[in-house]
């Protein structure tokens, strides 16, 4: 039994069962290729068996580290970008109090992020805060050579050493990187940092269940065992069958590809809970980087409703009809607030007095789905019973497997990202990095 469910009744007027089922043969093949490691990018499918193979010693070690960090740090800085950042942030924000930054009774270090941008003001303002707080950090980079986190780490390493002295600073740094390659690995060896390994066969955007995600999530006070348990449950379920009507990953991959071939080239992930915003960001990276190649692929976008119904709602209802939505719906909130009764009823809201806010949210969700479907936007609905570690574990594995399958249906390699190198080459050339002289000349000519 899995907790996650998919409802596709609101795509049925756009695509037929036959069109959905036409992907079955290729899905069965892709399912087998992911399990047997025989498809495109098969060097990077270590994530497929990862949940059930996570070492008990690794979990216990991460939990022990998290406990030690809690004793010495009010703030934990997670340095990383892309797949070395978004998974941890997605899970931490989904589980965290929405106003954690303002709470004065936090039991665990407050997590902040660095190295996911190159904004000088962001860094300066982070240092303003770190000047006054006890902190520790992790620097996460599989390649160990990515510019954004490397710049952030250089600055924060200096700051930490000035604040605590070199020896004590060293005890406040954990690096998560390749087992032997890259500048970060070398630096960690030279400086004596504790390190965790990103497995060779797991790419960044599929790495949330490695120390890349597990360490920050544990430091933030969340139960990584439950997260893994949920992922293991989904792994077993997905491994069991490749049938569209039994395997939610196959169903989701079939639905989105059936819509894609009908010209629905943009998928908008919708949430009605603001703390799911970074789940959308993580999903955008997972699908965008995995599928968007060879001039193919669904463009993954995201909105937070009802907030964005007052901005993007207009376009979704009435704009170009090349979009479909996937609503990530949550059945049960953790808290309970009712709309109060008001004697004067000047705002005319007494018709919902006594109703829970969640019920209003749910009616907004249903009303919006009906309106968007009427407007020509198919809606897939993925439901979680509630937001907790276990259900998020299921969700992660489900999205990952569906993404691998979807990439295979498109006939691309879902595990590489050659396109992200282009900006790096230009940036290095513009900054005068040795070895990029030819590119520098070419850019100068083109400007
Ligand atoms: O998914 C990916 O592979 C990328 O998004 C990387 O995670 C990202 O570019 C960061 O790379 P690295 O971990 O090597 O610093």
Could you read off the pLDDT tens digit of each residue along the chain, which spans 447 residues?
999 999 999 999 999 999 999 999 999 999 999 999 999 999 999 999 999 999 999 999 999 999 999 999 999 999 999 999 999 999 999 999 999 999 989 999 999 999 999 999 999 999 999 999 999 999 999 998 999 999 999 999 999 999 999 999 999 999 999 999 999 999 999 999 999 999 999 999 999 999 999 999 999 999 999 999 999 999 999 999 999 999 999 999 999 999 999 999 999 999 999 999 999 999 999 999 999 999 999 999 999 999 999 999 999 999 999 999 999 999 999 999 999 999 999 999 999 999 999 999 999 999 999 999 999 999 999 999 999 999 999 999 999 999 999 999 999 999 999 998 889 999 999 999 999 998 888 888 888
Task: Evaluate: CB of 83 within 6 angstroms of ligand 1.
Answer: yes
Ligand 1 geometric centre to CA of 285 (Å): 10
Do 35 and 77 have their domain in common?
no
Task: Evaluate: CB of 297 within 6 angstroms of ligand 1.
Answer: no
Helix (H) or strand (E) holding 78: strand 75-79
Do 122 and 253 have their domain in common?
no
Asked whether the beta carbons of 263 and 28 are under 8 A apart, the reply is: no
Task: Evaluate: CB of 417 within 6 angstroms of ligand 1.
Answer: yes
Task: Evaluate: CB of 205 within 6 angstroms of ligand 1.
Answer: yes
Do 207 and 247 have their domain in common?
no
Do 134 and 69 have their domain in common?
yes
Is residue 125 a part of any domain in this protein? yes
Which 8-state DSSP code applies to residue 428? H
Task: Evaluate: CB of 82 within 6 angstroms of ligand 1.
Answer: yes
Active site residue 56: no
Ligand 1 geometric centre to CA of 146 (Å): 8
Do 280 and 369 have their domain in common?
yes
Is residue 44 a part of any domain in this protein? no
Active site residue 424: yes
Could you tell me the CATH number of the domain that includes residue 341?
3.40.50.10490
Do 336 and 268 have their domain in common?
yes
Residue 407 confidence (pLDDT)? 98
The number of distinct structural domains making up the chain is 3
11: which 2 tokens?
A: 């795509």
Do 76 and 182 have their domain in common?
yes
Name the closest-CA residue to atom 3, ligand 1: 204
Asked whether the beta carbons of 88 and 279 are under 8 A apart, the reply is: no
Active site residue 289: yes
Q: Is 185 exposed, middle or buried (0-12, 13-18, 19+ CB in 10 A)?
A: buried
Q: Is 300 exposed, middle or buried (0-12, 13-18, 19+ CB in 10 A)?
A: buried
Do 336 and 405 have their domain in common?
yes
Testing ligand 1's pocket by substitution, the residue of 41, 43, 82 carrying the most ligand atoms inside 8 A of its CB is: 82
Task: Evaluate: CB of 329 within 6 angstroms of ligand 1.
Answer: no
Is residue 45 a part of any domain in this protein? no
Do 58 and 203 have their domain in common?
yes
Rounded Cα–Cα distance for residues 391 and 30 (Å): 25
308: which 2 tokens?
A: 């964005």
Phi/psi at 68 (5° precision): -65, -40
β-bridge partners, 139: 79, 175
Do 362 and 246 have their domain in common?
yes
Name the closest-CA residue to atom 2, ligand 1: 204
Do 266 and 197 have their domain in common?
no
Helix 389-410 and helix 277-291, axial crossing angle in degrees, nearest 10: 20
| Sheet with 5-7: strands ordered across | 5-7, 379-386, 323-332, 266-271, 299-304
Ligand 1 geometric centre to CA of 9 (Å): 37
Ligand 1 geometric centre to CA of 411 (Å): 22
Spot the catalytic one: 93, 267, 289, 400: 289
Rounded Cα–Cα distance for residues 65 and 101 (Å): 23
- Indicate the pTM of the whole model: 0.97
151: which 2 tokens?
A: 């710049």
Rounded Cα–Cα distance for residues 80 and 142 (Å): 9
Asked whether the beta carbons of 90 and 129 are under 8 A apart, the reply is: no
Residue ending a domain, among 222, 243, 264, is 222
Rounded Cα–Cα distance for residues 272 and 308 (Å): 10
Dihedral (CA of 322, 328, 331, 337) sign: negative
Q: Report which ligand 1 atom has the smallest distance to the Cα of 83.
A: 7
Task: Evaluate: CB of 204 within 6 angstroms of ligand 1.
Answer: yes
Range of the domain at 446: 422-447
């Amino acid at each position: 039994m899995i907790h996650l469910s998919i409802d596709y009744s609101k795509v049925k007027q756009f695509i037929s069962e036959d069109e959905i089922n036409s992907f079955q043969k290729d899905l069965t093949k892709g399912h087998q290729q992911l399990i047997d490691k025989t498809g495109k990018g098969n060097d990077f499918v270590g994530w497929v068996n990862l949940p059930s193979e996570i070492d008990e010693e690794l979990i216990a070690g991460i939990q022990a580290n998290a406990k030690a960090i809690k004793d010495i740090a009010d703030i934990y800085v997670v340095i990383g970008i892309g797949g070395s950042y978004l998974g941890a942030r997605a899970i931490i924000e989904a589980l965290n109090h929405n106003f954690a930054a303002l709470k004065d009774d936090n039991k665990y270090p407050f997590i902040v992020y660095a190295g996911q941008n190159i904004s000088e003001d962001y860094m300066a303002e982070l240092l303003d805060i770190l000047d006054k707080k006890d902190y520790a950090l992790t620097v996460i980079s599989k390649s160990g050579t990515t510019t954004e986190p490397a710049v952030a780490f250089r600055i924060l390493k200096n700051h930490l050493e000035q604040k605590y002295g070199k020896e004590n600073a060293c005890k406040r740094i954990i690096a998560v990187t390749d087992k032997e390659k890259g500048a970060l690995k070398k630096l960690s060896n030279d400086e004596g940092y504790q390190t965790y390994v990103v497995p060779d066969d797991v790419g960044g955007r599929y790495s949330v269940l490695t120390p890349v995600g597990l360490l920050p999530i544990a430091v933030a006070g969340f139960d990584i065992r439950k997260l893994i348990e949920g992922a293991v449950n989904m792994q077993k379920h997905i491994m069991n069958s490749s049938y569209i009507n039994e395997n939610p990953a196959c169903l989701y991959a079939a639905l989105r590809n059936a819509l894609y071939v009908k010209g629905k080239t943009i998928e908008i992930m919708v949430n009605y809970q603001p703390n799911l915003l970074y789940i959308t960001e993580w999903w955008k990276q997972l699908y965008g980087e995995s599928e968007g190649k060879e001039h193919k692929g669904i463009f993954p976008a995201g909105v937070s409703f009802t907030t964005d119904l007052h901005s993007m709602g207009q376009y979704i209802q009435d704009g170009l009809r090349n979009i479909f939505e996937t609503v990530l719906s949550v059945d049960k909130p953790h808290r309970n607030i009712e709309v109060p009764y008001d004697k004067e009823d000047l705002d005319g809201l007494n018709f919902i007095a006594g109703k829970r806010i969640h019920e209003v949210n749910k009616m907004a969700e249903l009303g919006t789905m009906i309106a968007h479907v009427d407007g020509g936007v198919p809606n897939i609905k993925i439901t979680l019973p509630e937001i907790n570690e276990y259900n998020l574990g299921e969700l992660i594995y489900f999205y990952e497997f569906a993404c691998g399958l979807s990439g295979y249906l498109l006939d691309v390699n879902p595990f590489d990202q050659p396109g992200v190198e282009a900006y790096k080459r230009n940036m290095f050339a513009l900054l005068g990095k040795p070895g990029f002289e030819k590119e520098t000349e070419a850019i100068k000519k083109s400007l």
